[in-house]
């Protein structure tokens, strides 16, 4: 049995499992990721001394509502336990040294990596946002102002830009609340369109953490809470802070002849 588990682990590391056949994953050693408390994660994530550019700072493109609410939450960081999260151009800068599980890695000579929500460099044209996180309450507030490069219907932000912003806020919240790392599902119901250049406030709550998953919900609305733009629920993030055995993945080859050409995907039953 031990020998078989070892063989399965080796095959998974090389993406060599039989197509369509669930395999049992070995336990994930928490030290291979970051087996740390919320405070330690926040401390590691929010670098105090760095030469990296923080994109979550006010600039000339921010609308009055966004500037005002930003200042309000900045004051809450002094008295109410909120923390302003820095936003660098890549997650590599936030979680340096993190080793992904199951042998996931990409070899590349690319030097300029950018997270999707920081891919537009011109201020005010794409994603303008800042996230505040409350460690003890395990909740986040994201102030999001979509620029004209995110347009869908004329004059309004594309729904996909809001979905990406929700996912990004979920990911940061899940990582800091319970070392969540991978998105498993994201269910969104759009209610109203967001005018380009206006403020949308995303309120994220961690509902529970169990079965190696972080369950969260989000509501995106106007500052005065009179207009709801979208609601998101059922979002699950694989948590690395707990043991992951037994876990099941199924390899889907999508018509490829060789199983080695396909990457494993999460089994919905897990």
The packing angle between helices 159-178 and 38-45, to 10°, is 120
Partners of residue 232 on adjacent β-strands: 188, 218
Q: How far apart (Å, rounded) are the C-alpha atoms in residues 178 and 241? A: 6
Interior/surface letters 34-53, b for 16+ CB within 10 angstroms, e for the rest: beeebeebbebbeeeeeeee
CA atoms within 13 A on the CB side of 105: 10
Q: Residues 6 or more apart from 40 whose CB is under 8 A from it? A: 34
Counted residue by residue, the chain has a size of 270
205 is catalytic: no
Q: Of the listed 93, 167, 205, 261, which one is catalytic?
A: 167
Q: What are the C-alpha distances in Å from 83 to residues 41, 205, 268?
A: 12, 15, 34
Active site residue ranges: 167
């Amino acid at each position: 049995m031990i020998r078989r588990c070892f063989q399965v682990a080796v095959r998974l590391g090389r993406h060599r499992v039989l197509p369509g056949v669930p395999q049992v994953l070995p336990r994930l050693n928490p030290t291979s990721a970051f087996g740390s408390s919320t405070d330690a994660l926040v401390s590691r994530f929010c670098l105090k001394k760095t030469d990296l550019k923080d994109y979550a700072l006010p600039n000339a493109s921010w609308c009055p509502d966004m500037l005002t609410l930003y200042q309000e939450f900045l004051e809450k960081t002094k008295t109410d336990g909120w923390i302003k999260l820095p936003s660098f151009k890549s997650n590599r800068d936030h979680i340096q040294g993190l080793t992904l599980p199951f042998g996931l890695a990409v070899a590349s000579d690319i030097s300029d990596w950018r997270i999707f929500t920081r891919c537009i460099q011109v201020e005010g044209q794409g994603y303008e946002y800042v996230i505040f996180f409350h460690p003890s309450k395990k909740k986040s507030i994201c102030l999001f102002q979509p620029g004209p490069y995110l347009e869908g219907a004329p004059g309004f932000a594309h729904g996909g830009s809001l979905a990406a912003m929700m996912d990004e806020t979920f990911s940061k919240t899940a990582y800091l609340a319970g070392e969540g790392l991978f998105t498993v599902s994201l269910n969104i119901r759009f209610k109203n369109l967001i005018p380009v250049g206006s403020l949308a406030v995303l309120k994220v709550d961690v509902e529970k953490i169990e079965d190696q998953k972080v369950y969260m919900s989000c509501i995106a609305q106007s500052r005065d809470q009179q207009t709801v733009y979208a609601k998101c629920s059922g979002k699950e993030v694989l948590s690395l802070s707990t043991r992951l055995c037994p876990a099941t993945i199924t390899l889907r080859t999508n018509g490829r002849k060789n199983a080695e050409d396909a990457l494993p995907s999460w089994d919905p039953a897990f």
